Structure 1
Amino acid sequence: MVSALGMTATLGGCGSTGSSDTTLKLVAADYGDSAANSSKKYWAALADAYEAKHPGVKVQVSVYSWNDVDAKVKEMVDSGNAPDMAQIGAYADYAAAGKLYPMSDTLSIGTQADFVPQLAEAGDWNHTPYAMPFAASTRVLFYNKTLFQQAGITPPTTWDELASDAESLKAKGVKYPFALPLGPEEAQAETMQWLLSGGSGYTDDIGTYTIDSAVNGETFSWLKDDLVGKGLTGPVAPGRLNRAAAFAAFADGQVGMLNGHPTLIRQAEAKGVKFGMVPSPGRTGRARAAMGVTDWMLAFKQNGHAREIGSFLDFVYEQKNVLDFSRKYGLLPVTTSASEAMSQSDAKSDVPLHAFLDQLPTAEQYPVNKTSWAAVSAAVKKDIGQAVSPDGSPAGVLTRLQSAATAADSTAQSQG
């Protein structure tokens, strides 16, 4: 059963109540980690401000946890009760099924043009922009400055240096010299960062899955033999270590290094951990690209509210509102105007995000424009940890995942 962190409620109350009113229904994900900073408060304030200027429109928002929100939207769409808008993690299935408005049917030209180009391109399905970027993040290598100083080491720039640093941290008794979360919570993210660091990825340049490429096999063989096999990843097997647990351990001062995204900044600061951030090391130098993750805003066609949806979303994507959301939750702005404002800001909340913003122009996204990606991501979450287990076979696991990806892609194409 889907359990909502936030029950459906009409946010705000400004505006007329005549029969000509339009009510827009939005389902959104909760980026907060407590009731005090729940996304319900952000959307409530935004809806109030919009309704005050547009008395003929009401905005009704339901906020759900990330564990539930995608399933909730699917349930609504499958039952014939699609919301007008959904702010979730995937879109390709809905675009392929003809459920969504193209971006050009809702947003003003100015708002469309303001999206960071590579984020907007990732929202294309069949060469048409359907999904609007809503929030973004990249990954960098976090390291504990205190532990590094005690071990007399400097942040790594190559895999060899990373392994050497991990050895030094282990010798000093650090619990997790390098935390490698390949558990089911977010293994697809950690995996992609390592595939990029090794020089490849989930797909080739034309979008064909290449999970079992020789380069990817070498990457996971190195992880298995040079990190995990040498006891440099801590007491919990990577396949059972989830991202949230790894972040919590870093905030508790038990981790020397790990790949992290912007939300780890506040988590570590709250615990008083002194940390640094550097680009993730590659095989022989800086990684080919950082991993970028984008969350999406979708506009559903079912209720026919294209004009009202566009008006509200133009407001949502105004620079002030984009910056407010990004600063509140430690995420990267998805519009060029807000990104430039943040990169030029020396505000305490903005400076730590500059390292992530610097990577955004070249960051690579999941293959989210493939309708098969959801199935492939689920398979990676389930199986990739076995690739680095003591009796695991990196090549064998990657081959199985490639077969699953090829089958999922074939099924998706036949249904399309």
Structure 2
Amino acid sequence: MRRRLNGLVAVVSAVGMTAVLAGCGGSGDQGDVTLRLVAADYGDTAANSSQKYWDALVEEYEKEHPGVNVDVSVYSWNDVDRKVKEMVAAGRAPDMAQIGAYADYAAADQLYRVDDLLSIPVQADFVSRLAEAGQVDRVQYGMPFASSTRVLFYNKTLFARAGLKAPKSWSDLAAAARALRAEGVETPYALPLGPEEAQAETMMWLLSGGGGYMDAVGNYGIDSEQNVDTFTWLKEELVDKGLTGPTPPGELNRADAFAAFARGEVGMLDGHPTLMKTAAAKGVKFGMVPMPGVDGKAKSAMGVADWMTAFKQNGHREQVGDFLDFVYSEKNVLAFSREYDLLPVTTSASEAMAADEDDQDLMPFLEELPGSELYPVGRTSWAEVSAAIKKQIGSAVAPNGNPEAVLGQLQRTATAADNAS
């Protein structure tokens, strides 16, 4: 959620004499316990750092649970996954880590199963699509913590000037881009295929073309006919015709595209909820519609989730489970989601948000979540595949690019990584 969507470090140590602690590695310890949590920072300033959210939540929890202390450390998204990996490698795994991926730890049998931690009502409350994405071999290890979807943003002022309506199909989008270019808009459609988050822009377009990263039987299908057709259309109808701006898509990062939209320089781009606040703060009037597909609305939107995990090393299963039940209460999920313009990961909080007039600006994203498709994060090969996409996909739409060849190479990389894992 990736929004963005920056980190926490955790190491577990028992408070008090070790002799009074019972059941290490089992159902839980007796006596005072300190749980250490590593989490990511979703704030963009010191004023709204995630540390403040966690400090308030922990203070409330500790008042009701005098035998349990929770120590939270927050790191940026640039550092949090690496920090946790270093801690685990050093034999100092945190009790909990709120990070971007979990499959490697699950494959190494380092994580608790979700059904060994959470109460049944809390576990059942997760949005089903997100709960499924947290599974490895049909067992859930990743607990969704934050989520978002993507929709198409468009600049209402630029569209009005060109006499345009919001696009509903690829042909509408291409026609709008041509009209905006004729009006002097330098970047009619921003296509960020740079290394920051190319895997996201790529997936949005693959889904809109009826494809995706995976095939119908759960294997990588990156070079499918639908995917090749999608990138061929992007290259021929948008990039080659000069409708994606002066920066080559392979060099354009999402943050730069968002900033240009907030300056009023971009006609259209795919965005997540945090772009609303950024654009509104700059006075940009914008609209949001579902991502266009080949002949109408795309059949699936892209969803993104970040994950809470619980490591088995320190053996505080009962305390961790009780704390996470508290974390995933409707009140706390709503508070976090509203603070950072994200979507709730539980059904109860989603329903509460949908019913609240103050949250209506998030409805276009919330409506897309139940049918969204997420990255294949349950596969240990995904990290390698994602890195390859970030590095190579921009060349598919370069002047001498060959979409079929690039997607074919990515498919071979994905197949080899999957076999190796």
TM score, norm. by length of structure 1: 0.94
Distance 2:41 2:155 in 1: 29
Partner of 2:192: 181
Query: Within 5 A, what are the aligned runs for 1:142-221?
Result: 142-221=153-232
Partner of 1:14: none
Of 219, 238, 242, the residue aligned with 2:253 is 242
Partner of 1:363: 372
Partner of 2:25: none
Is contact 2:228–2:404 with CA below 8 Å preserved after alignment?
A: yes
Residue 274 of structure 1, CA deviation: 0.4
Partner of 1:91: 102
Gaps of at least 5 residues in structure 2 are: 1-5, 18-30
Is contact 1:175–1:254 with CA below 8 Å preserved after alignment?
A: yes
Of 398, 405, 411, the residue aligned with 1:396 is 405
Partner of 1:13: none
1:260 aligns with 2:239: no
Q: How many residues align?
A: 400
Distance 1:269 1:64 in 2: 27
SS in 1 for 2:218: coil
Query: Within 5 A, what are the aligned runs for 1:39-188?
Result: 39-188=50-199
1:226 aligns with 2:237: yes
Partner of 2:33: 22
Residue 206 of structure 1, CA deviation: 2.1
Is contact 1:8–1:60 with CA below 8 Å preserved after alignment?
A: no
Residue 41 of structure 1, CA deviation: 0.5
After superposition, the Cα gap between the structure-2 partners of 1:152 and 1:63, relative to the gap in structure 1 and judged at 3 Å, is same
Distance 1:82 1:172 in 2: 56
Of 313, 320, 326, the residue aligned with 2:337 is 326
Distance 1:384 1:62 in 2: 35
Is contact 2:7–2:77 with CA below 8 Å preserved after alignment?
A: no
Distance 2:7 2:356 in 1: 33
After superposition, the Cα gap between the structure-2 partners of 1:325 and 1:392, relative to the gap in structure 1 and judged at 3 Å, is same
Residue 7 of structure 1, CA deviation: 8.1
Per-residue CA deviation, residues 8-55 of structure 1 (Å, 9 max, x unaligned), is 699xxxxxx755310101000010111111101101111111111111
Give 1:371's aligned amino acid.
Answer: T
Distance 1:193 1:66 in 2: 22
Is contact 1:101–1:301 with CA below 8 Å preserved after alignment?
A: yes
Partner of 1:35: 46
SS in 1 for 2:368: helix
Partner of 1:387: 396
Is contact 1:6–1:40 with CA below 8 Å preserved after alignment?
A: no
Is contact 1:144–1:274 with CA below 8 Å preserved after alignment?
A: yes
Per-residue CA deviation, residues 313-363 of structure 1 (Å, 9 max, x unaligned), is 00000101000000000000000000000011101xx11111111111100
Give 1:137's aligned amino acid.
Answer: S
Residue 129 of structure 1, CA deviation: 1.0
SS in 2 for 1:244: helix
Cα RMSD for the two superposed structures? 1.3
Per-residue CA deviation, residues 135-174 of structure 1 (Å, 9 max, x unaligned), is 1100000000000000111111111110010001111111
Is contact 1:138–1:293 with CA below 8 Å preserved after alignment?
A: yes
TM score, norm. by length of structure 2: 0.93
